[in-house]
Amino acid sequence: MSRYIVRRLLQFIPWMILIAFVGFLIMELPPGDYVSNYIRGQSLGGNRDAAAQEQAMREQFGLDKPFLLRFVDWTVNLARGDFGISLATGMSVRDIIGSKLGATVAVSLCAFILSWGIGIGLGVYSATHQYSRADNFWTTVSFLGLGLPDFLIALAFLVFAWRLNGEVLTGLQSPEFIGQPVSVGLVIDFLKHLWIPVGAVVITGMAWVMRVMRGNLLNELGKNYVTALRAKGVPERTIIWKHAFRNALHPLIGALSQTLAFLVNGFVITSVVLDLPTIQVTYMDATQAQDLYLAGTILTFIGLLVLLGTLVSDLLLAWLDPRIRFS
């Protein structure tokens, strides 16, 4: 097992280089670059001297170099922990991502834990109480969750909160708490804002997890080994939780790589609608502005999460099913 993990970790290096290269290449495909877009915007705004600054700006940002040379320089610096400078803001990419990381982790982690915990529990309950009133109710709820986008649910929660207390709970903090030290009031205010994005994402995520879990468990309960266990007199609870439940988890564990990437790159529209200070909004803005180094770093981080999620899902599958062995 240890040799397998080491081999997989070593395979991360070429995959990360490939992901970063493709991301850089995609940013090069649209016509122009950040500087040309900036100069065009300044000219449309009436700044006639902007065109004279174009060459100086290209040299300042290193955009006068060939694509491959810029990519190699950025990759080498990335390996050293230097993520570069944002072209749009002039700030360090490390500082920008660091300032958004706390809010991103708070929203994403809460949404992940609640959606998977509630979804798996409801999926098991629905499968073991098939066609009951509770099963029909939660199935209807899951279909609504799958059909409604999370940003629309977030807007509904926003209107509900406004009608309830007259506050527009966008962002994750009220203006009076921004930049203030940690206190009981700040934590309460943060939780007051947090439930809207988390609740919206949980409803859609929980619906998907519940449908997958219910279908997988019903499929397992209909197999021959479950019939044999029942014929031997094994208690139903043991059959469900020790045997069928573990096998029903396989597809969910297999989807863990996409789930980890979703923690960084998911619910983008919801983040924009609610004005959340998360990486999702930063990544979208950087892509639109062709901010190479900021967008490239976030894309590489997303790719790393996908690779790590794949490794973790493989190890969890081996733990769930002893038949899986790594050579």
Mean pLDDT of 33-60: 76
325 in a domain, yes or no?
Answer: no
Domain boundary among 14, 47, 79: 79
Bigger pLDDT: 326 vs 144: 144
Domain boundary among 19, 46, 79: 79
Model's pTM, two decimal places? 0.84
Mean of per-residue pLDDT scores for the chain: 86
211 and 109 within one domain: yes
Give all strands (DSSP E) within 145-218, no chain letters: none
Q: Is-contact 230 243, C-beta < 8 A?
A: no
89 in a domain, yes or no?
Answer: no
75 and 108 within one domain: no
85 in a domain, yes or no?
Answer: no
156 and 207 within one domain: yes
CATH number at residue 217: 1.10.3720.10
**3-state DSSP helix/strand/coil % of the chain, to nearest 5:** 75, 0, 20
Token representation of residue 34: 């950040």
115 and 52 within one domain: no
121 and 48 within one domain: no
Bigger pLDDT: 202 vs 180: 202
CA distance linking residue 175 with residue 101, whole number of Å = 20
Mean pLDDT of 240-244: 90
Q: Is-contact 42 36, C-beta < 8 A?
A: no
- The pLDDT of residue 325: 64
Mean pLDDT of 3-16: 80
Q: Would the pLDDT of 164 be above 60?
A: yes
127 and 28 within one domain: no
Number of domains in the chain: 2
Q: Is-contact 293 255, C-beta < 8 A?
A: no
271 and 143 within one domain: yes
Q: Is-contact 145 204, C-beta < 8 A?
A: yes
CA distance linking residue 166 with residue 281, whole number of Å = 26
227 and 297 within one domain: yes
- Using CB atoms within 10 Å of the CB of residue 37, give its burial: 0 to 12 exposed, 13 to 18 middle, 19+ buried: middle
86 in a domain, yes or no?
Answer: no
Region class of 81: left (phi > 0), else alpha (psi between -120 and 50), else beta = left
92 in a domain, yes or no?
Answer: no
- Using CB atoms within 10 Å of the CB of residue 188, give its burial: 0 to 12 exposed, 13 to 18 middle, 19+ buried: exposed
Share of the chain above pLDDT 70, in %: 96
160 and 247 within one domain: yes
158 in a domain, yes or no?
Answer: yes
Q: Would the pLDDT of 327 be above 60?
A: no
pLDDT band per the 50, 70, 90 thresholds, residue 30:
confident
- Tens digits of per-residue pLDDT, 120-146? 999 999 999 999 999 999 999 999 998
CA distance linking residue 74 with residue 256, whole number of Å = 29
- The pLDDT of residue 326: 60
3-state secondary structure of 234: coil
93 in a domain, yes or no?
Answer: no
Domain extent for 45: 2-79
273 and 150 within one domain: yes
Sequence-separated (6 or more) residues with CB below 8 Å from residue 24: 67, 70, 71, 74, 292, 296
Mean pLDDT of 274-285: 89
- The pLDDT of residue 229: 92
305 and 243 within one domain: yes
pLDDT band per the 50, 70, 90 thresholds, residue 39:
confident
66 in a domain, yes or no?
Answer: yes
Start-to-end CA distance of the chain, whole Å, equals 8
Q: How many residues does the chain have?
A: 327
Bigger pLDDT: 132 vs 305: 132
44 and 105 within one domain: no
Domain boundary among 28, 49, 79: 79
Mean pLDDT of 98-112: 89
